[in-house]
Amino acid sequence: MTRGDKRLDTLIQSVHRAMDAHELRAFYQPKFDALTGRLVGSEALVRWLRPDGSLVMPLDFLPQLETGKDILELDYYILRLVCEFLQRQMKEENFPQLPVAVNFSRLHVYEANCLRAVEQIVDGYGVPRHLIEVEITESAFAQEPEKTAEWINKMRNAGFRVAIDDFGSGLSSLSFVKDIAADVLKLDKSLISRNCEDEKERIVLESIFNFAHRLSLTTVAEGVESQEQLSFLRMCGCKVIQGYLTAKPMPEDQYIQLCREQSKQGQTEDVLLTQPATSATQLLLEAVFARYPLVIFANLTRNSFYLMAYENFTRHSVCPSAGQFSELIAHGTASMHPEDQELFRSTFNADSLIAAHDRGEQSVTLVTRQMGDDGVYRRVETADYFVKSSSVDDILLIALCHNLD
């Protein structure tokens, strides 16, 4: 259909009339934490509720609005409804303040004053900006990559959250994501339904999650319909799920009810039973780092090391994060109390450690006095544990260090 087409013009006029008559509503589809099942927010989706009670779905009229600028008006209309809703709920005591995602057509990217319009609406209702997440579809990048990236930057710098919607629905490659400073990556439902069945495609999906998490993007899986999909998404470390399995888009009053119930219930699932191995390892590491602020991996055979954590220890910035093990020991020795230096050096040089390993010792532990940033000596315990890698014969160790004073 093109502009000037009679049927198209009539439809567009009816949508404008529907806006004036408040027949266009925002439905809310809840989003949940993939591990705990906790409600974390929602997405506002437009619905046209006709006076005869019938419901018209967005895909039956949005593509037509996108042939011109009418879609821009509709998006601002929905944003206003969302802000009215949030403003009302802010007044209710103990009502959870959860973000709402609002869809923005890619045509906003070409608009001169989009940011100002959004700011005026959101600020006008007194809604904190971080509660509004603007969703812009991946296809915007295919057409106008630079302009879209710039649009996102402006939105984020102004304090709004930004999500890339429908990721994986088009032909765009992963690499474009690295250049975009978004907060959230929403994986399209076509990707989820395809990939959870086929082994090779599951591998692709795992890599997408990995990649997104390394870029510090929050991942949202759209269109989650089955328990099998959810289990697989959890294994991939997916953060948030949205789909019919957990909740369909619902009218505002039902969503309010859900928010109230969830705030009373608190957490719904035991994270220990649902977490993937990577998240369990992360928890374990937190406990290790709480006890040992300095953790060093060393390869004695290759005279190399790297630091895994270096916080709250006697010194903060002077320690290199990777390099030659012999240099690390020389560096450590220099910070020891003069009376402890020889003992430290002779215990922890690579030859002595390799000899201890060959004698069958499992660990080597020593307490020495080390000078901190403040010039004060404190007793430090260094415990080196020999570890075995399944892939190499090198002699490896993990050194756990902590202050005793």
* Min separation Cβ 331 and Mg ion, Å: 52
Encoded one letter per residue, x for contact with ligand C2E by CB under 6 A and - for no contact, window 235-254 reads -------xxx----x-----
Pairing of strands 132-137, 100-104: parallel
Residue 78 within binding range of ligand C2E, rule CB under 6 A: yes
Size of the site for ligand C2E (CB under 6 A): 26
* Min separation Cβ 248 and ligand C2E, Å: 7
- For residue 83, give the nearest of 15, 160, 152 by alpha carbon: 160
Q: Which is nearer to ligand C2E, 41 or 332 (CB)?
A: 41
Residue 61: helix, strand or coil by DSSP? Answer: coil
Collect all residues with Cβ–Cβ distance below 8 Å to 100 and sequence separation of at least 6: 28, 41, 42, 43, 44, 82, 85, 86, 131, 132, 133
Q: Which is nearer to ligand C2E, 187 or 353 (CB)?
A: 187
Q: Which is nearer to ligand C2E, 62 or 215 (CB)?
A: 62
Out of 33, 138, 166, 183, the residue judged to bind ligand C2E by CB under 6 A: 166
Q: Which of residues 151-180 bind Mg ion (CB under 5 A)?
A: 165-166
Out of 12, 35, 40, 46, the residue judged to bind ligand C2E by CB under 6 A: 46
Residue-by-residue DSSP string for 211-254: HHHHTTPEEEEE---SHHHHHHHHHTT--EEESTTT---B-HHH
Collect all residues with Cβ–Cβ distance below 8 Å to 101 and sequence separation of at least 6: 31, 41, 42, 43, 44, 133, 134, 135, 163
Residue 135 within binding range of Mg ion, rule CB under 5 A: yes
How far is Cα 405 from Cα 399, in angstroms, rounded to an integer? 19
Q: Which stretch binds ligand C2E (CB under 6 A): 54-62, 119-127, 258-266, 288-296?
A: 54-62
CB 27 within 8 A of CB 249: yes
Residue 225 within binding range of ligand C2E, rule CB under 6 A: yes
Q: Which is nearer to ligand C2E, 37 or 332 (CB)?
A: 37
Residue-by-residue DSSP string for 320-382: -SEEEHHHHHHHHHHTB-TTTHHHHHHHHSHHHHHHHHHTT--EEEEEEEEE-TTS-EEEEEE
Out of 62, 121, 142, 366, the residue judged to bind ligand C2E by CB under 6 A: 62
CA torsion angle 44 48 54 55 (round to 10): -40
Residue 29 within binding range of ligand C2E, rule CB under 6 A: yes
Q: Which is nearer to ligand C2E, 106 or 357 (CB)?
A: 106
Residue 105 within binding range of ligand C2E, rule CB under 6 A: yes
Q: Which stretch binds ligand C2E (CB under 6 A): 51-59, 231-239, 369-377, 379-387?
A: 51-59
Which residues contribute to the site for ligand C2E (CB under 6 A)? Answer: 29, 45-46, 57-59, 62, 71, 74-75, 78, 103-105, 135, 165-166, 189, 222-225, 242-244, 249
